[in-house]
């Protein structure tokens, strides 16, 4: 059994972007943090070279890699269920989910994250995200008004703002294992959208979010499901509106109207196509 006291579990989620996976794995294996566990889960990609990935990890790992697992779901079950399956394998006190098309920013990312997690044992920790092109050349840091205010607003205000827009970048987030032990895993009512329902649930339960601008990840622009017109993804967002936001309309008041308007605007096909075009 791995000693889980300060182990950092990194979960790499893969689906049909295996060609980008090795950069993500390398960013984990080069970490200076002293105790790392790596879990690579493929969600039924057309091609997934598990044996080659195993050999790559064995060849490039250092002594700080205390364990790793590479496995493939027999069928495509979606991001949410894949993440939950991986969480059940994870032994770490700290948890980081990482998309296969992204990468940890530098060798000290997990060290910085662990320091902040230690300081805030009851909080979800957010770091800084660097937007990159498809070759992982940095473009600029990702900023938004919610991330800049999140340390200073109440859980109630955070819930209202999240209803209007999911301003928390999933790649920026680091968890304590205890969060999942207390509040449960990602909601499997959704197929691809693990993050937004989780932030809303956490805010409603008074969980604090702490943003510290250490360098967290390099985010590859225009990759991943959020950059597409994926039907399941858009259905999940509609379900969030119907199952979480609409039942809270009396609590939200005028914020509910803003949430509906925001949903209609952000998820219109025209707006999403224009956004993808200008983000190239």
Res 19: pLDDT = 87
Q: Pick the residue with more confidence: 222 or 4?
A: 222
**What tens digit of pLDDT does each residue of 164-197 get?**
999 999 999 999 999 999 999 999 999 999 999 9
Res 69: pLDDT = 96
Flag whether 107 is in a domain.
yes
Res 10: pLDDT = 98
Res 221: pLDDT = 81
| Number of domains the chain contains | 1
- Token pair recorded at residue 198: 């989780």
Q: Mean pLDDT of all residues in the chain?
A: 90
Flag whether 2 is in a domain.
no
Flag whether 3 is in a domain.
no
CA distance 75 to 253: 42
Quote the pTM value: 0.91
Res 278: pLDDT = 43
Q: Which domain holds residue 195?
A: 8-278
Nearest Cα residue to 213 out of 95, 146, 145, 125: 125
Flag whether 132 is in a domain.
yes
Flag whether 1 is in a domain.
no
Q: What's the 3-state SS for the chain? A: CCCCCCCEEEEEEECCCHHHHHHHHHHHHCCCCCCEEEEEEECCCCCCCHHHHHHHHHHHCCCCEEEEEEEECCCCCCHHHHHHHHHHHCCCCEEEEEECCCEECCCCHHHHHHHHHHHCCCEEEEEEEEEECCCCCEEEECCCHHHHHCCCCCHHHHHHHHHHCCCCCHHHEEEEHHHHHHHCCCCCCCCCCCHHHHHHHHHHCCCEEEEEEEEEEEEECCCCHHHCCCHHHHHHHHHHHHHHHHHHHHHHCHHHHHHHHHHHHHCCHHHHHHHHHHCC
Q: CATH number of the domain that 17 lies in?
A: 3.90.550.10
Flag whether 119 is in a domain.
yes
Flag whether 142 is in a domain.
yes
Flag whether 267 is in a domain.
yes
Q: What's the 3-state SS for 158-194? A: HHHHHHHCCCCCHHHEEEEHHHHHHHCCCCCCCCCCC
């Amino acid at each position: 059994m791995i000693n889980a006291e300060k182990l950092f579990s990194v979960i790499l989620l893969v689906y049909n972007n295996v060609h980008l996976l090795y950069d993500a794995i390398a960013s984990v294996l080069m970490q200076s943090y002293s105790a790392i566990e790596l879990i690579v889960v493929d969600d039924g990609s057309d091609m997934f070279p598990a044996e080659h990935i195993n050999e790559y990890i064995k060849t490039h790992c250092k002594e700080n890699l205390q364990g790793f697992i590479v496995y493939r779901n027999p069928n495509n079950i979606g991001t949410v269920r894949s993440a939950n399956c991986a969480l059940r394998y994870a032994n770490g006190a700290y948890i980081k989910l990482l998309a296969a098309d992204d990468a940890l920013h530098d060798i000290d990312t997990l060290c910085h994250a662990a320091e902040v997690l230690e300081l805030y044992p009851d909080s979800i920790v957010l770091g800084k995200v660097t937007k990159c092109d498809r070759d992982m050349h940095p473009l600029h840091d990702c900023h938004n008004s919610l991330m800049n205010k999140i340390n200073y607003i109440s859980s109630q205000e955070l819930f209202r703002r999240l209803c209007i827009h999911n301003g928390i970048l999933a790649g920026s987030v680091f968890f304590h294992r205890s969060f999942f032990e207390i509040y449960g895993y990602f909601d499997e009512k959704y197929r691809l959208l693990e993050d937004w329902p989780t932030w809303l649930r956490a805010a409603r339960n008074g969980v604090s979010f702490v943003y510290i601008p250490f360098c967290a990840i390099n985010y590859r622009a225009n990759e991943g499901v959020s950059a597409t017109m994926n039907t399941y993804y858009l259905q999940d967002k509609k379900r969030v509106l119907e199952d979480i936001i609409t039942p809270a309309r009396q609590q939200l008041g005028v914020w509910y109207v803003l949430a509906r308007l925001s949903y209609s605007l952000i998820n219109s096909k025209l707006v999403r196509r224009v956004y993808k075009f200008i983000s190239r």
